[in-house]
Amino acid sequence: MVKKYILLVFLLMFINSLIVFAADNETSTKSVDKEKGYAWLFNESKKVNWGGDAETVSWVVLALKNNRNYDYKKALDKLEGMEDDSNWNDDIYETALATIALKKTGKNVDSELEWLFDRQEEVLESGNWFIQFLTEGEDVSCKVIYEDEEDKEFVINGTEIVDSSESCSVIGENWVDFEECVKDDDADMYEKFETECLSGSNVKTSILFKNNANYYIVDQDEPLEIENSCFYGNSNDCSCISTQYASWAMSVVNDQDYRAYTLPYLRSNCNENVLDNIFLYMLTSSEEYYNYLISDEGQLEDGSFDGDEYKTALALIAMKGKTSSDVTKAVSWLGYKQRQDGSWDGSVKITATVLYALTADVIPITTTNNSTSGCGDLILNNATEQCEYTSDCDEGMTCSACKCVAITGCVRDEECTIPGYTCQAGKCLPEGECAISSDCDPGEICVNSECDVEQVQNECVVDEDCIVDGEVCESGICVEQGSSWITWLIVFLIVIVALIGAYFGYKKFFRRKGSPKGTGFKPNNGPFTPRSEYSPTRQNVPANVRQSSPINDGGQDKIEEQLDQSLKKARELLRGK
């Protein structure tokens, strides 16, 4: 009996592992329900009167602004109301995110950008700056022109300096130490200078930044520039997080008069983990950092980054415009992590970040509308458009075809009082136009306020891009979904085979000895005599033992009596049933 229970337990564990495996395969293609996510985000933010810290409200604004079905203006008003003297809580991290949110909604951020720019600090002790000259082997004379300083001259043969007008130790070296040989002082936060070599000479110059034993090529364009700054955190020291977000904000604004001079610091001090490389790729677009992100060190097999929803969303933002299978895997994983209520981790901040990462700002939208009017490009042109989002319209109005129209429910076309409007999906809309894909007929999607059935080259990024029912997005292409029922069919067949194997295994190894096939234990047909292939032998039992009654007779009679009673009760229960 014990053996049967052990076998049953192992069988159940095996079946459970198969079901879990099938469920994992099922979730690998689970799509994101963006509308459910937006509904949760909007309602949760509204519950707290759009409150929270500046970081969270900034993400809410970024997420809602790209969905014309939700009004983001109250969240934006809340964010602006939290601002104090061009910053938020005197915090670089929060101010950076708020600046991005304001910029993306078309606000002027000159004062906020200036506040961030003034918070840059020099990184004096983190490394050394070198000027490298590369020639084709002949002796070439070059000079460095820096501010009002006297020109510094150097003679280079290949990559080796063979003569110098300066007393600094550069002879035989591969480069010139800028701080020792040109400026004679530590480099400031920003330095700019030019090099000039003999006419006709083929010389390549570049700036190198050395930190410990690592060298980084910083600039190879004339005039050469040294960037030597970071942003401080709460500890009044250079902080990777503060520097990363502030640099991101300044790159989004993209004002050449207010630049972040932080890349050398980020390259040399903030390059160890997934988050570091996300920002480095976001700021440089260097394949070096992209390759790290999609490697085994960066993206996990399930498609996530560090198994973290927030980091995975940031990675999608960094990989903006990419349509690779790595992006598709990340989006699918986010679909798997989405909760039943539509949120991610039950967090307003994380949900908003994920939704923003899946909007047009980040993931490109394929359109087939060749109109040059600009309607649907998410940029409000007041000369030709009334709105791009519903929030651009007055209360009680909705944005349709970049025009503010009354929000009216309907069942029949006759209920639409506006000339040229018909009832589409319960809304009065201009004939042939739409606000969202649900306004269109089955199999159509809403593209630039028009219902369209076309899909360029059947490309996709998320499952929602596939307009044919039953198709999912795999490796950037819409394919027919078949993995779900096939997976469960395979599981079912495996379970059947396992059960058959378990049955024959039990019959072979755990069947009661002495009960061969076709012969059972029959207590009412006389005593049971076990069979054996060995000849019986006479046991030498002492006379006093031989004469005594069997010690188990009473116990055996009691067991049989209990068995009869159990059978009798079973019959009575069956009759009653």
CATH number at residue 332: 1.50.10.20
Point out the domain boundary residue: 227, 243, 259.
227
Q: Is residue 473 part of a domain?
A: no
Residue 73, exposed/middle/buried by CB under 10 A (0-12, 13-18, 19+)?
A: middle
Longest C-alpha distance within the chain, in Å? 127
E-strand spans in 39-186?
120-122, 128-134, 139-145, 152-157, 160-164, 175-177
Long-range contact pairs involving 297-300 (C-beta distance under 8 Å, separation at least 24)? 298/274, 299/326, 299/329, 299/330
Choice between 399 and 386, residue whose per-residue pLDDT is larger:
386
List phi, psi (to 5°) of 365. -105, 125
Pair 204, 283 in one domain: no
Query: Could you write out the DSSP letters of every residue in 502-559?
Result: HHHHHHHHTSPTT--TT----TTSS------SSPP------HHHHTSPPTTHHHHHHH
The Cα 560–Cα 524 span in angstroms is 10
pLDDT of residue 343: 95
pLDDT, tens digit, 9 for 90 and up, residues 139-198 = 888 889 998 888 888 988 887 888 888 878 787 887 888 888 888 888 888 999 999 888
pLDDT of residue 501: 74
Q: Is residue 283 part of a domain?
A: yes
State how far the alpha carbon of 433 is from the alpha carbons of 130, 151, 270, 346, 439, in Å: 61, 68, 49, 35, 8
Pair 199, 271 in one domain: no
Pair 257, 271 in one domain: yes
Instruction: Tell me: pLDDT of 363 over 80.
Output: no
The Cα 407–Cα 391 span in angstroms is 13
pLDDT, tens digit, 9 for 90 and up, residues 414-425 = 556 565 667 765
Q: Is residue 340 part of a domain?
A: yes
Which residue type, as a one-letter code, is found at position 276?
Answer: D
Residue 386 tokens read as 């009334």
Pair 92, 167 in one domain: no
Which residue type, as a one-letter code, is found at position 514?
Answer: G
Point out the domain boundary residue: 316, 341, 357.
357
Pair 215, 237 in one domain: no
* Residue span of the structural domain in which 57 resides: 34-122+231-357
The whole-number average pLDDT for the span 38-50 is 92
Q: Is residue 502 part of a domain?
A: no
For 225, other C-beta atoms within 10 Å of its C-beta total 16
pLDDT of residue 480: 62
Pair 208, 116 in one domain: no
Instruction: Tell me: pLDDT of 374 over 80.
Output: no
Residue 461 tokens read as 């990024």
pLDDT, tens digit, 9 for 90 and up, residues 102-138 = 999 999 999 999 999 999 998 865 578 899 888 877 7
pLDDT of residue 531: 45
Q: Is residue 494 part of a domain?
A: no
Before 223, cis peptide (omega within 30)? Answer: yes
pLDDT of residue 273: 95
pLDDT band at residue 1 under the 50/70/90 scheme = low
Pair 309, 336 in one domain: yes
Judge contact between 366 and 459, C-beta under 8 A: yes
Point out the domain boundary residue: 187, 204, 227.
227
For 29, other C-beta atoms within 10 Å of its C-beta total 18
Residue 444 tokens read as 């159509």
- For residue 163, the cross-strand partners are 155
Judge contact between 227 and 129, C-beta under 8 A: no
Residue 136 tokens read as 């084709």
Q: Is residue 540 part of a domain?
A: no
Instruction: Tell me: pLDDT of 498 over 50.
Output: yes
Judge contact between 55 and 82, C-beta under 8 A: no
Pair 135, 254 in one domain: no
Instruction: Tell me: pLDDT of 235 over 90.
Output: no
Mean pLDDT of the chain: 76
Which residue type, as a one-letter code, is found at position 438?
Answer: S
Instruction: Tell me: pLDDT of 262 over 90.
Output: yes
Q: What is the CA radius of gyration of the chain?
A: 37
Give the chain's domain count: 2
Choice between 535 and 389, residue whose per-residue pLDDT is larger:
389
pLDDT of residue 560: 62
Residue 231 tokens read as 């942003």
Instruction: Tell me: pLDDT of 18 over 70.
Output: no
Instruction: Tell me: pLDDT of 251 over 90.
Output: yes
Q: Is residue 506 part of a domain?
A: no
pLDDT of residue 389: 60
Residue 381 tokens read as 């042109």
The Cα 105–Cα 65 span in angstroms is 7
Judge contact between 434 and 453, C-beta under 8 A: no
Local structure of residue 346 (DSSP, 8 states): T
pLDDT of residue 233: 87
Pair 274, 337 in one domain: yes
pLDDT of residue 320: 83
Choice between 522 and 343, residue whose per-residue pLDDT is larger:
343
The residues, any chain, with a CB within 8 Å of residue 160's CB and separated by 6 or more, are: 172, 173, 174
Pair 238, 333 in one domain: yes
Length of the chain: 577
Pair 112, 139 in one domain: no
Choice between 370 and 571, residue whose per-residue pLDDT is larger:
571
pLDDT, tens digit, 9 for 90 and up, residues 500-525 = 777 776 666 655 544 444 444 344 44
Q: Is residue 243 part of a domain?
A: yes
Q: Find which of 74-78, 373-377, 389-393, 559-563 is predicted with most confidence, using mean pLDDT.
A: 74-78
Pair 258, 116 in one domain: yes
